Each structure stands twice: as C-alpha cells, then as structure tokens.
Amino acid sequence: MLDALTAIAGPANVLTGADMGSYVCDWADRPQGAPLAVVRPADTDQVAAILRLANETGTPVVPISGNTGLAGGTQADGAILLSMGRMNAIRAINPAARTAVVEAGAIIADIHEAVAEHDLIFPLFFGARGSALIGGALSTNAGGSNVLRYGNTRDLCLGIEAVLPTGEVVDLMRQLHKDNSGYDLRHLLIGAEGTLGVITAAVLKLHPAPLANATAMLAVRSVSDALGLLNRLQRETGGAVQAFEYMPRAFVEACVAQIPGLRTPFESAYDVNVLVEVGATQPRAATPGEDGQPPIAAQLEEALGALFEEGALLDAVVAQNEAQRNAMWALREASAEITRLNDPVIDNDVAVPLDRMQALLDRIAAIIARHDPGARDVSVAHLGDGNLHFTCCPTRPDPDLMETIHTEVEDAAIALGGSFSAEHGIGLRKRDSMARHKNPAAMAAMRAIKTALDPNGILNPGKVLPDP
C-alpha cells in the first residue's frame, strides 16, 4: 500500500512514523490516532487515484485540512490521512462577478488577503483563520463571527469540486446564483465532514469590503436586553450589523488574568458584555466628515447614546482607531486559548432561537449550581445567530460529572428548540448526541445516502453517524 501511495504522490509526500508529526495531534495537542500514513496529493487527479486505490483495497481515508477542528473529525487509526495542504492555489478572482476559485488547501487568511486587493471580502472570520483551510471550513460548514450578516460557509459557496469514494470526480464548479438542475449535491457535500466525498476546490462568493467599520464594546443588564439592542441597531443601520458577540464577566476576567496583553475596555466590571461591529459599504456612510469621523461611527454613537438615556445600556466604549478595534476583537477571539489553558474543561457547541438564549443561560446556571456550584462558566456566544460556545471549568476532573453537565446542557438546548451542534460539527465527539437527539427518519435517510455514495465505508469511517 505504501509503495502504491508513493507511486501516486511521490516519496516526499507519503509520511510515516515520526515524520507524521503534528498531523496526528489536533490544535489542543490531543492525539488523533495512529494513521497508516499521511499522504499529501498535489492535485485532484492524485486525490482520485488515492481514493480508487483505497476503495479497491478497503483502506479507510480521513481527509485533513488545517487540523483546527474541535469534534475529533480527524481521528485516523490505520487510515490514510489525506492532507489537502499542498492543494493551496487561489486560481482566480473575478471582481466583476465577485467570486474566487480556490483549491481546498488554501488558508482562509490568504484568501482574505488576496480578495482584499480588489476591495472585496470573503466574510468567513474566526480565530483559527490563519491556519484553517477552506476545504475544512466547507466540510464542517463553519460559522464564525459574521454569520449574522453573511451566513455560514454554505451560504458563501457557489460551486465545488469533489472526489467520491470511488475516485469519480464530481465537477460542480459553477459560478451561478441560481441552478435548479436536480438534487443540490453541493450542499450535500458541504457539512458532511468528509464522509461522502473529498472537496478539492470551490467557487466562493465574495462581498464588497466595508469602507468603514464602527466597533464598540457594550455592557447591558441581560442577554434579553442585548437582543432588543441588536434589533434596534439593525433597524437604525439598515441591517449593517455584522457581528454581535456575547462575553460574560467570568470570561473577560479569565482572559485578562491568563493571557498577557489582553484587557477590558471598561473601568468597571459588568456581567454581560457585548462586542458589536457595524460595517458601511456605501461611500456616504463611510466618508469621514470635518471631525474625521465616518458617518457610520457617528450613527452608532448616536444610537448608543439614545439607548443609554433610555436605560437600555449600562456602558459603552466605541473604538476610536484600528488598534482599539483589534484589542476588542482580541478579547473575543481568545476563547479557544482560554479553553486550552484550563484543565479540566467542559465544552459544548449548541444553538437556540435568538429569543431563547437568556433562557438557555438561566438553565445552564441552574445545571452548574446543581452539580458543581464552584465551577466557572466562561462561555461566549455568537449572540446574533444564537450560537453558544459553552465552556465550563469544573472544580474537579470527574469524568461522570463532566459528562453529566455536558449532556444536560445539550438537553437544555434541545428543549428550547435548539441544536446540539451549531458550527463545530459532529466528528467522533457528538455521535452519541446524534443517537439521542436526531430524528430517526432523518438518521435513516443519512445512512442511506452514506451507503449509496460510499458502499465500502472507506471515507472518514466512524464519524458523524452513530452505530445502527
């Protein structure tokens, strides 16, 4: 098998033993199994050849991108770990059509830089964008901080190219906004976590870059008050709010205490802190006036001033320059680092309807008080889209305690009409949750699709779908 893989990808691109290095650990340095080899194809033809070989021999294949996942999706015992890192070309940018054609191994931050030269953005932003690859983001339907305005990764993709387990190439690289020619295989493969096919390239949807941003940190009495504030700001800015991020006091205090250089913009401590950012794409809202301030910033300050007078706002700090804006975002994007710095930690990724976030937080507080009153809740949320990243530091490393809290938080989200997985995917970690919560008919349909496309079960086996 190793000889055959070497013949396809070349000796320098078939790694075994110690040479597999960081490929076999996730971002948090947790082991991801013992692969047969790491194989680094150079193009779609090589991916197809590798999958044909694997399908004929019954060898499992686990695709891997930037390895920044959080759900155990790249566990690869005895498998070919298929790294997409060499397929990293940004093939074309079409400013007129506002599209970019990229290979699956392109780093998301590199895509941001490339399209910025054309005054455009690919609005997928999250903390790991400097190492995450677009293929992985597509495979997990990643979210991030701009979902409120631009949608998930699925909403930012017009077309894909993918290789099926049989080695057949599905070419769906259309730059069309409308295409009703049968089943939408593009959307089926996006978010499938590499269980149905290996995404090798994509056509991405671009947007005009904001000409100016207005960013502020707000303090409010409750998350429910924050939601009312969001709706008010959306109305007054014409839907220009592009991020609305929740950080509780415990999270802010943990960041300031544990990560050098981070600080809160407030002189006082508040229980509910919200980072809001509004982006202006119209010149009249972005061109600075005589005071040097763009109208979008003045509009935000005026709206916040009115809310403060009404008692809906406890405090607010508006970023006056890019350095202050970056400092506010650095605080929010420290959430992954806080998770890594604390041990033990219970983490979960759930979603609820926007108007039920406060109820979810209240239920979580009751769960923690019931099982481990001394635990610290350092959760954060993409409040504008209802996604909570639950993170709790328990007082003791008790596996039963941690599993109980994890399960009850999921159950609380489901009871409020939510989901047990918002944007991190299923991988290995949430297969039991799938078994508990997924509609049986939906589960049967997914198993039928998996069997039809991957009858030998070689692609990312054991992930997403629980055992029958």
The pLDDT tens digits of the residues spanning 319-335 come to: 989 999 999 999 999 99
**Lookup: tokens for 337:** 């680092």
For 378-406, letters b (16+ CB in 10 Å) and e give bbbbbbbbbbbbbbbbbeeeeeebbebbb
Angle between helices 44-57 and 2-9 (to 10 degrees): 170
Tally of structural domains, the chain: 4
- The CATH number for 34's domain is 3.30.43.10
CA atoms within 13 A on the CB side of 213: 18
Q: Are residues 221 and 201 in the same domain?
A: no
Q: Is 288 among the domain residues?
A: yes
Peptide bond connecting 210 to the previous residue in cis, omega within 30 degrees of 0? no
> Domain end: 83, 98, 131, which one?
83
Q: Is 371 among the domain residues?
A: yes
Of 387 and 232, more confident: 387
Q: Which of 451, 460, 466 is nearest to 191 (CA)?
A: 460
For residue 432, pLDDT over 90 is answered with: yes
Q: Are residues 122 and 201 in the same domain?
A: yes
Q: Is 449 among the domain residues?
A: no
Q: Is 283 among the domain residues?
A: yes
Q: Are residues 124 and 31 in the same domain?
A: no
Q: Are residues 202 and 263 in the same domain?
A: no
Q: Are residues 58 and 115 in the same domain?
A: no
Note the pLDDT of residue 198.
Answer: 98
Cα–Cα distances (Å) from 105 to 101, 131, 174, 234, 401, in that order, read 12, 10, 19, 36, 39
> Domain end: 28, 51, 83, which one?
83
**Lookup: tokens for 389:** 């990243």
Note the pLDDT of residue 32.
Answer: 74
286 in Cβ contact with 296 (< 8 Å): yes
Of 236 and 28, more confident: 236
Q: Which of 192, 198, 150 is nearest to 170 (CA)?
A: 198
Mean pLDDT check: name the lowest of 20-34, 74-88, 94-108. Answer: 20-34
Q: Are residues 328 and 378 in the same domain?
A: no
**Lookup: tokens for 161:** 């190219």
Residue 99: band (very low, low, confident or very high) from pLDDT cuts 50, 70, 90: very high
SS3 string, 204-266, reads EECEECCCEEEEEEEEECCHHHHHHHHHHHHHHHCCCEEEEEEEEHHHHHHHHHHCCCCCCCC
Q: Is 467 among the domain residues?
A: no
Note the pLDDT of residue 242.
Answer: 94
- The CATH number for 346's domain is 3.30.70.2740
Integer Cα distance of 402 and 335 in angstroms: 19
Q: Are residues 147 and 176 in the same domain?
A: yes
For residue 127, pLDDT over 90 is answered with: no
Q: Is 450 among the domain residues?
A: no
- The CATH number for 146's domain is 3.30.465.10
Q: Are residues 45 and 114 in the same domain?
A: no
- The CATH number for 284's domain is 3.30.70.2190
Averaged pLDDT of the chain: 93
Q: Is 445 among the domain residues?
A: no
The percent of residues above 90 in pLDDT, for the chain, comes to: 79
Q: Which of 16-25, 228-237, 369-378 has the highest mean pLDDT?
A: 369-378
Integer Cα distance of 294 and 281 in angstroms: 12
Integer Cα distance of 343 and 335 in angstroms: 14
Domain span at residue 34 reads 2-83
Integer Cα distance of 390 and 347 in angstroms: 5
Q: Are residues 185 and 257 in the same domain?
A: no
Note the pLDDT of residue 28.
Answer: 65
Task: Convert the pLDDT of each residue in 27-83 to its tens digit.
Answer: 666 777 899 999 999 999 999 999 999 999 999 999 998 787 777 778 888 999 999
Q: What is the DSSP letter of 79?
A: S
Task: Convert the pLDDT of each residue in 446-465 to its tens digit.
Answer: 999 999 999 999 999 999 99
> Domain end: 44, 64, 83, which one?
83
Of 192 and 127, more confident: 192
Note the pLDDT of residue 74.
Answer: 84
143 in Cβ contact with 351 (< 8 Å): no
DSSP string, 386-401: TEEEEEEE-SS--HHH
Q: Is 446 among the domain residues?
A: no
Q: What is the mean pLDDT of residues 200-210?
A: 97
Q: Are residues 163 and 234 in the same domain?
A: no
Q: Are residues 203 and 217 in the same domain?
A: no
For residue 284, pLDDT over 90 is answered with: no
Task: Convert the pLDDT of each residue in 269-281 to its tens digit.
Answer: 999 999 999 999 8
Q: Are residues 216 and 328 in the same domain?
A: yes
Mean pLDDT check: name the lowest of 201-205, 271-275, 304-308, 411-415. Answer: 304-308
